[in-house]
Amino acid sequence: MKRVELDTKGLKSFVQSNELKEIAPMVQTARDLLVHGTGVEAKMGDWVNLPDEYDPVEFDRIKDAARDIQENSDVLVVIGIGGSYLGAKMALDFLHGSFFNLEGTDKHPQIFFAGNTISPAYTADLLRVIGDRDFSVNVISKSGTTTEPAMAFRIFKEKLIEKYGQEEANKRIYVTTDAKKGALHDEAIDQGYTSFVIPDGIGGRYSVLTPVGLLPIAASGANIDDLMDGAHEAQVALKDAPLYENDSLLYAAYRNILYRKGYTNEILESYEPHLRFLAEWWKQLAGETEGKNYKGIYPSSAIFSTDLHSLGQYIQEGMRNLMETVVEIKQPASNLGIPANEENLDGLKYLENTTMDEVNKTAREAVVIAHTNGGVPNMLVTAEDNSEATLGYLIYFFEFAIAVSGYLNGINPFNQPGVEDYKQNMFALLGKPGYEERRKEIQEQDNEKFH
Ligand SMILES: O=P(O)(O)OC[C@H]1O[C@H](O)[C@H](O)[C@@H](O)[C@@H]1O
């Protein structure tokens, strides 16, 4: 049994075997571009070999820093956005469940995220929740200049200095950024912050297995050695294996066959609420990799059975441009029986000898039958358990499949030019020096009346 397997029974009436044969050579070519570093912007593909090429010295420094944070802080505030936030959040929920922050802090700090929004309410609420407790900050930004984390860093740095004075505050600031340049890099050197490197050849949405994710994950008490071992297992199993023996490539192949048949939206689903952020992380990975040249699969997400009571109607009877990918944990972290009840007023007596996990998995089976009968193709990604090793494998599985999908569709899987437009407008409207021209353009555009 592999840690992560793809089940395509839900594609039976949607994909013909010859269609897989037809796309096969193109998928292999796309994979070769990625693995041989011959594709566009190949220099950003260093994550492919990261599981056996990461820096062991920095890895140990991460573990040391995590221990320091565990010893001197009740709270760790992780400041970052996009790829500098979603991976860590995804991992903490996947590994520790939905109530990690409420389960006491004798072994690990509560871990909260900031700088992933411009909301003053959210930020003020977090400041209030921290109160006067001991805390540290891990500020993460590859560019070092992204507005949201930069604003949050100013606010939490001020709180650290107010509480501890400059010298002690500096010891509680951990920076993860570019090796050589950027505002954060320069400040870390000036102020002597403990800092870690986001490798040049790894972009934000592919960076969770770098210090970007590893420090928060280690600070939570999780085993990052096991995490990297699981990713290495995936690298060995997936990097060179041919299509028909490679579930990650098959996932890439099938989702692209479906896309070309008009199923232009993919919903990543799980029946476990603590996998909600796995889908949030995947949405950036897939959306920011593929959404270019006015094409690409639109990534969305749902948590079942919860969202069957909100989105179920649309998925069953709305536009037939949807595909579903369910991520299921084979061995859930815990399970519960259904208590016996003599009166049986709720009519659940027939469930009294089953467990919640059995009911959850049966619900998934029932939903896949209903949705495939309703015209929605379904794939199932089964992950062995909620262990660090399985998470490491799952991360590599999706990163590999999505990057191959990008090359398969002839786009650059590693840039994100589209995120600059709104930023230029925001800087202009905020009066950032150097954006006067843009501001004028916006005002002129604004003055043009609609006829
Ligand atoms: O890590 P940073 O440089 O702060 O970037 C954080 C995020 O913002 C950018 O605008 C991109 O959308 C993301 O790919 C990136 O992960």
Q: Give the Å distance between the CA of 376 and the centre of ligand 1.
A: 33
Q: pTM, whole model, 2 decimals?
A: 0.97
Give residue-wise pLDDT tens across range 98-142. Answer: 999 998 767 899 999 999 999 999 999 999 999 999 999 999 999
CA 357 – CA 363 distance, rounded (Å): 10
CA distances from 426 to 121, 143, 164, 397, 420 (A): 20, 17, 34, 36, 10
Q: Does the beta carbon of 416 sit less than 6 angstroms from any atom of ligand 1?
A: yes
Query: Other C-beta atoms within 10 Å of 120: how many?
Result: 10
Model pLDDT for residues 171-183, shown as the tens digit of each residue: 999 999 999 999 9
Residue 80 Cα: closest atom of ligand 1: 4
149 CA closest ligand 1 atom index: 4
Residue at 418 is within a domain: no
Confirm if 304 and 337 have CB atoms less than 8 A apart: no
Whether 286 and 297 have beta carbons less than 8 Å apart is answered as yes
Strand-strand pairing, 378-383 and 4-7: antiparallel
Question: Residue 150: which domain range?
Answer: 49-222
Kindly report whether the peptide bond that precedes residue 141 is cis, defined as omega within 30 degrees of 0: no
Q: Does some domain include residue 35? A: yes
| Whether residue 26 is found in the same domain as residue 90 | no
Task: Tokens for 37, please give them.
Answer: 């570093």
Residue nearest to atom 4 of ligand 1 (CA): 141
Please give the distance, rounded to the nearest whole angstrom, from the Cα atom of residue 257 to the centre of ligand 1: 30
Within its chain, how far is the Cα of 28 from the centroid?
Answer: 25
User: Do residues 153 and 190 share a domain?
Assistant: yes
Residue ending a domain, among 222, 257, 286, is 222
Helices 276-290, 86-96: axis angle to 10 degrees equals 150
Pair 236, 217 in one domain: no
In-domain check, residue 101 = yes
200/310 Cα distance (integer angstroms): 42
pLDDT of residue 435: 96
Which residue, of 175, 198, 222, is where some domain finishes? 222
Percentage of the chain beyond pLDDT 70 is 99
In tens, the pLDDT along 258-281 reads: 999 999 999 999 999 999 999 999
Query: What's 393's domain CATH number?
Result: 3.40.50.10490
Distance from C-alpha of 409 to C-alpha of 297, rounded to nearest angstrom: 10
Q: Would you say residue 444 lies in a domain?
A: no
In this structure, the answer to whether residues 86 and 187 fall within a common structural domain is yes
Last residue of a domain, one of 162, 190, 222: 222
Q: Are residues 232 and 375 in the same domain?
A: yes
Which among 397, 386, 97 is positioned nearest to 268, based on CA atoms? 397
79 lines ligand 1 (CB under 6 A): no
Query: How many domains does the structure of the chain reveal?
Result: 2
pLDDT reading at 450 higher than 80: no
Q: Do 243 and 391 belong together in one domain?
A: yes
Nearest CA to ligand 1 atom 10: 419
- Is residue 100 in some structural domain? yes
pLDDT confidence of residue 234: 98
Residue 451: pLDDT band (50, 70, 90) is low
* Beta-carbon count within 10 A of 128 CB: 8
The first and second tokens of residue 419, run together, are 């995120």
Q: What pLDDT, in 10s, does the model give residues 332-364?
A: 999 999 999 999 999 999 999 999 999 999 999
Which amino acid is residue 31, in one-letter code? R
Say yes or no: 67 and 174 in one domain: yes
The pLDDT of residue 2 is above 90: no
Residues 250, 301: one domain?
A: yes
Mean predicted lDDT score pLDDT of the chain: 97
